[in-house]
Amino acid sequence: MPESARTKKLLGFYDQMLRIRRFEEAAAKAYAGGSIKGFCHLYIGEESIAVGAIANLEKQDYIISTYRDHGHALARGMEPGPVMAELYGKETGCSKGMGGSMHLFDKDLRFMGGHGIVGGHVAVAAGLAFGARYQKERNVTLAFIGEGAVSIGGFHEGLSLAALWKLPVVFIVENNLYSMGTPQYRHLSVKDISMRAEGYGMPGKRIDGSNVYHVYEEVREAVNRARSDHGPTLIEIITYRFRGHSMSDPAKYRAPGELELKKEKDPILVTHAELLSIGVSEDTLKAVNDKNKKIADDSVEFAKNSAFPPVSDLHKYTYVNP
Ligand SMILES: Cc1ncc(C[n+]2csc(CCOP(=O)(O)OP(=O)(O)O)c2C)c(N)n1
Q: What is the pLDDT of residues 53-107, one digit of tens each?
A: 999 999 999 999 999 999 999 999 999 999 999 999 999 999 999 999 999 999 9
pLDDT of residue 318: 86
pLDDT of residue 320: 80
- The alpha carbon of 147 and the centre of ligand 1 are apart by a number of angstroms equal to 9
pLDDT of residue 2: 67
- Position 321 pLDDT exceeds 80: no
Q: Is the pTM of this model over 0.75?
A: yes
Backbone dihedral region of 45: left (phi > 0), alpha (psi from -120 to 50 degrees) or beta?
Answer: left
Burial label for 283, CB within 10 Å (0-12, 13-18, 19+), is exposed
Q: How does pLDDT run across 34-68, given as a tens digit for each residue?
A: 999 999 999 999 999 999 999 999 999 999 999 99
Q: Around 132, how many Cα atoms within 13 Å sit in the side-chain half-sphere?
A: 25
Q: Determine the atom of ligand 1 nearest the C-alpha atom of 117.
A: 26
pLDDT of residue 177: 98
Mutation choice for ligand 1 from 66, 122, 180, 243, CB with most ligand atoms inside 8 A:
180
pLDDT of residue 288: 98
What is the mean pLDDT of the segment spanning 242-258? 96
| Cα four-point dihedral sign 42, 168, 224, 112 | negative
pLDDT of residue 1: 64
Inter-CA distances, 285 with 26, 202, 216, 309, Å: 20, 40, 21, 39
- The alpha carbon of 26 and the centre of ligand 1 are apart by a number of angstroms equal to 24
Class in CATH terms, 3-303: alpha beta
- The alpha carbon of 155 and the centre of ligand 1 are apart by a number of angstroms equal to 13
How large a percentage of the chain has pLDDT more than 70?
A: 98
Nearest-angstrom CA–CA distance, 96 and 322: 20
